[in-house]
Amino acid sequence: MDELVSLCKRRGFIFQSGEIYGGLQGMYDYGPLGVELKNNLKNAWWSSMVYENDNIEGLDASILSNPTVLKYSGHEDTFSDPMVDCKTCKSRFREDQLPENCNKGKCDFTEARQFNLMFKTNVGPIDDGSSFAYLRPETAQQIFINFKNVIDSSSKTLPFGIAQIGKAFRNEITPRNFIFRVREFEQMELEFFVKPGTDEDWHERWVKKRLDWWEKQGVPKENIELYDVPEDELAHYSKGTIDIMYKFPHGLEELEGIANRTDFDLGSHTKNQDELNISAKVMPNNNSNTRLAIQDIESKKWVVPYVIEPSAGVDRGILAIMNEAYNVEDLGEGKERIVLKLKPHLSPVKAAVIPLKKNNDDLVNKASDLKKSLQSLNIGRVVLENTGNIGKGYRRHDEIGTPLCITIDFESLEDNTATVRDRDTMKQERISIDALPEYLIKRIHK
């Protein structure tokens, strides 16, 4: 993990937030390459959900949440972790993560108390605590409360889904393991609404689909274990959850959870609960003004759909993908190289164009024209690497996972060809510059 964290800082993927003032625990900033990698991962998820499925629509809802939403969702009452204080060192721990000794000697713990993980903030000009909102602890609730807006505007029938990517906030008692457990993170969540009775079949299907998707992002199935969450560990809304557990550098932990949320959420937020035959145990709701149900085409009866929810963490995804991609290769004669073998569609930079000499106008102009033409393909970032040191250029681009380096030399001026070096094999070949767009597109989608 230490080597990965150091690469992330050195090359501009991820920085500790607020570092110049001592940092803020549990918060990280994504740098120039990190933001590209993160956007590429989110785009891959969005494509696989919204663009590849005509029965899935997207949403981008607000982060600040009306407290009533989180009252009926159950978060106000149940979204807490047991917390313990050490009387010796005055530190605070999660009950399931207690150390034996602290920095002041043997720990002396208090009884556990429940600690709600939601952040609150004041809304409006008067700060007397009477008007507050929560920062959403998951993106899911905004999907449920927009259920009617989405079906009315997009004429959906069951089964169908609503997908959302966005920030979530949890006041974790002990944030740790780099970007694995943080207080501000991003989620990619799908709420897939199905007919009651078909839920278990859909649950299984989504587990398979999600495993295949992670494999395409470079997280192989052999480094994943499925954890069928036992009943006494299930979240209050879940009838069954399968966690996709990945072998992170610090141990086997959750990358994504796929839950069968039954009709709990729509049933909790709907009006007219008594008329809707809701199977989950929900809090009586006298505040909602909207029926969150769908009319069955054949029977004409109102049905509260069941929900299958694949919920993945973007930051945990980045950590898993970088961990898989990170390689130190022995080049012989005491030399080695660090290479980030990212799937090309995720690479922050798709190609680097390198003029052989940085002060030669002809070479630099030709390289610059090629950069522009490859950039216009709209496949992600292409850079002009004008440092005049090809070896250093290769090393840098190996470390940041650039699939191709393209060198413009004097021969290029004569015959319009360039040397293309592949990141993974380090093989070099001479290719016509006119053929490069197609070559690059193929390499990115390989």
DSSP string, 232-252: GGS-TT-SEEEEEEEEETTEE
- 82: cis peptide before it, omega within 30°? no
Question: Which position's Cβ is nearest ligand GAP?
Answer: 313
Closest contact distance (angstroms) between CB of 182 and ligand GAP is: 4
Closest contact distance (angstroms) between CB of 250 and ligand GAP is: 13
Closest contact distance (angstroms) between CB of 187 and ligand GAP is: 5
Closest contact distance (angstroms) between CB of 427 and ligand GAP is: 37
The answer to whether 172 and 183 are in contact (CB under 8 A) is yes
Helix (H) or strand (E) holding 372: helix 361-375
Nearer to ligand GAP, 257 or 403 (CB): 257
Nearer to ligand GAP, 270 or 311 (CB): 311
Nearer to ligand GAP, 182 or 304 (CB): 182
Nearer to ligand GAP, 140 or 404 (CB): 140
DSSP string, 31-86: -HHHHHHHHHHHHHHHIIIIIT-TTEEEE---SEE-HHHHHHTSHHHH-EEEEEEB
Nearer to ligand GAP, 182 or 276 (CB): 182
CA distances from 238 to 77, 116, 174, 265, 308 (A): 16, 19, 25, 10, 10
> C-alpha angle 335/340/341, rounded to 5°?
110
Closest contact distance (angstroms) between CB of 103 and ligand GAP is: 24
Return the DSSP state at 181.
Answer: B
Cα 323 to its chain centre, rounded Å, is 15
Closest contact distance (angstroms) between CB of 135 and ligand GAP is: 13
CA–CA dist 34, 55 (Å, integer): 31
SS3 5: helix
CA–CA dist 302, 300 (Å, integer): 7
The answer to whether 381 and 344 are in contact (CB under 8 A) is no
Closest contact distance (angstroms) between CB of 388 and ligand GAP is: 41
* Residues engaged in binding ligand GAP (CB under 6 A): 138, 140, 170, 172, 181-182, 185, 187, 189, 254-257, 309, 311-313, 315-316
CA–CA dist 419, 400 (Å, integer): 20
Closest contact distance (angstroms) between CB of 317 and ligand GAP is: 7
CA–CA dist 349, 41 (Å, integer): 13
Nearer to ligand GAP, 316 or 381 (CB): 316
Nearer to ligand GAP, 248 or 326 (CB): 248
Nearer to ligand GAP, 257 or 348 (CB): 257
